[in-house]
Amino acid sequence: MGLSKDASQRRPTVWVNCAASLDGRLAFAGGKRAALSCPEDLERVQRLRAGSDAILVGVGTVVQDDPSLRVHWELLGQPPGKNPTRVVVDGSGRTPANARVLDGSTPTIVATSERSTREYPPHVTRVVAGATRVDLGRLFAVLYDMGVRKLMVEGGAEILSSVLRAGLFDRFSIYYAPVVIGGATAPPVVSGPETRGSDDATTFELMGLERVGVGCLATYAPAGRRGTLPDHPGA
């Protein structure tokens, strides 16, 4: 995969990706879905998906947007191929019974905590990774042991916050759409605890900056961990 891993930090290569407004919002007020990616960026995202073994989102994204998390092969001009495994982080069992991620069309893993008693259809794999909430480091190690070598993380804000602040990633790409959303309830790229000062801030290293369609794509690595991703789309 291009990046060495300490045995205590065994996990897949993790590529975090999102699209945001210029003021760093993922959606409109109240979390209403915003189509922020331009056609060129949508194609880029599909290449990332197609090159991943699994795609991970939080349950909030499932509840709000009901994504299929499949590869839109038509945007790549390719015949349908194998879709990556879908991974939903759902510590308390909030995934709707009729959610598309549970439809059985693609292998799906629901990562939950010990406190959840929710049952899922037989075709869904349940992974317990934490006592009261999902421990992402532990989950990533389990996914690695299950054969996931390339993991794409797509959000939402709580998942992005947890992965980025903990440094559980190798690349972070953010597409900035030429729009400002503002307001108090539009979700930011990163939520979670307050940063009280520079000592608490999470730092990154810029790996690339380019124009994509009408917007701009910035790609980062964790500070001090440039590495290379020679076999991953977008590297």
**Kind and range of the H or E run holding 9:** none
Q: The tokens of 50 are what?
A: 């197609």
User: Sorting pLDDT into bands at 50, 70 and 90, what band is 5?
Assistant: very low
pLDDT tens for 71-123 read: 999 999 999 999 999 999 999 999 999 999 999 999 999 999 999 999 999 99
Q: What is the β-pairing status of strands 171-176 and 215-222?
A: antiparallel
pLDDT tens for 79-89 read: 999 999 999 99
Q: Which residue has the higher pLDDT, 175 or 193?
A: 175
Confidence (pLDDT) at 120: 94
pLDDT over 90 at 216, yes or no: yes
Report d(CA 95, CA 197) in Å as an integer. 36
Residue 18 bridge partners (DSSP):
174
Place of tokens 């869904």: 124
All domains in the chain, ordered by first residue? 7-222 (3.40.430.10)
Q: What is the side-by-side strand order in the sheet with 108-112? A: 124-128, 108-112, 85-89, 54-58, 150-155, 13-20, 171-176, 215-222, 204-212
pLDDT tens for 125-174 read: 999 999 999 999 999 999 999 999 999 999 899 999 999 999 999 999 99
pLDDT over 50 at 184, yes or no: yes
User: Average pLDDT, stretch 24-39?
Assistant: 95
User: Average pLDDT, stretch 29-48?
Assistant: 96
User: Average pLDDT, stretch 35-42?
Assistant: 97
Alpha carbon separation from 157 to 17, 116, 125, 171 (Å, rounded): 11, 22, 24, 17
Confidence (pLDDT) at 4: 40
Angle in degrees, CA 225, 229, 234, rounded to 5: 115
